[in-house]
Structure 1
Amino acid sequence: MVGGLHGKEGKTTEPILKKLIEGKKPAYGKLIVIPALCKNRKYVSTLNKEYYEGREGKKLLSLIQKYKPEIYVELHCYRKSAYKLLTDPKRKTKKGVPPFVEISSGVLMGSVSPHLLSMFRFRLAVVFEVPCKNLGLASKTVLKLLNDVKNGRDTEDILGCWKIKYPYQIRKAESLLYRWLGGELVD
């Protein structure tokens, strides 16, 4: 799990991810958490190939190559003004990636950058976005989702937990992802 991948996101993601690791150790496997990959750096989108040529991007690629995670999670934060851009139904046409789906309380779920997906094979790769300011219930919601990852046996277990809590939202996110990847979602 990686937070604070660009800009000032670390101010929001670091406390959330530190809280996640305060509790019990993972029930299965090993959990590697980077609460803030960078702090107060220039914002470069992870959708931009140049991100992976910069300091933070190279550091991220090195960590992924070193640990070879089966499950990869990014935690970002968004400005209130960016919400509509992130959830825009035409985001695939505009940005090349499917729109984020709101899970609950302003927590958004979407795909990781296609640049990472072209370089690595993850069993599960997901991005969560929370509001940068005035988190409210978003902090608790994203912690529940991250704890499901932390304590899940495997991807099926994690997705099963999410589908029980947020059936419509997870189904929608899966459908958008499978269509984007050129596959077909089978129940």
Structure 2
Amino acid sequence: MNLARFDIAGPVLIEPRRFADSRGFFSEVWKASSHAEIGITRSFVQDNHSLSRLKGTVRGLHFQRPPTAQGKLVRCVRGAIFDVAVDIRPGSPSFGRFITAELSAENWLQLWIPPGFAHGLCTLTEDTEVLYKVDAPYDPATDSAIRFDDPAIAIPWPVAPGQALLSDKDRAAPLLAEAALPEAW
């Protein structure tokens, strides 16, 4: 497994090995002992799968507050996404900064996003499917969002804000400065 770290502590870009032959390939996309060696020791409790039919669909920026804050291991199994993690840990030296990565079925990359980060994505192709493991179950009482196009964060999305396909929840999300953030993660 190859990995890359960012200048913001926490997220990790992971490239699982693929063993290919004329029949196709085999890959271990999650193995507790291998991931523990790179610092991902959380226990996953739920797998999520999303399908976005149209290019330019934006999901996020989503997070859950403690006590059910989620870490996510994200991968794209069909199509491609522009994936984003925003540091929303008050007091962090990188608060409000973000990292991005392109994840695709072709490049086979995964992105680990620990608790304390808001997560969002934009589909780069039609019929894009994303799978992600989470280390806490979905909890509507702690579910939160930040506006994807917050000018204070200034994410360079691959779609113009007015062209992004959004849910009602994401369209109504507050700016980071207005979001109800916990003091500690």
TM-score, normalised to structure 2's length?
Answer: 0.28
Higher Cα Rg, which structure = 2
More helix by share: 1
Larger RCO, structures 1/2 (Cα 8 Å, 6+ apart): 2
More strand by share: 2
TM-score, normalised to structure 1's length?
Answer: 0.28
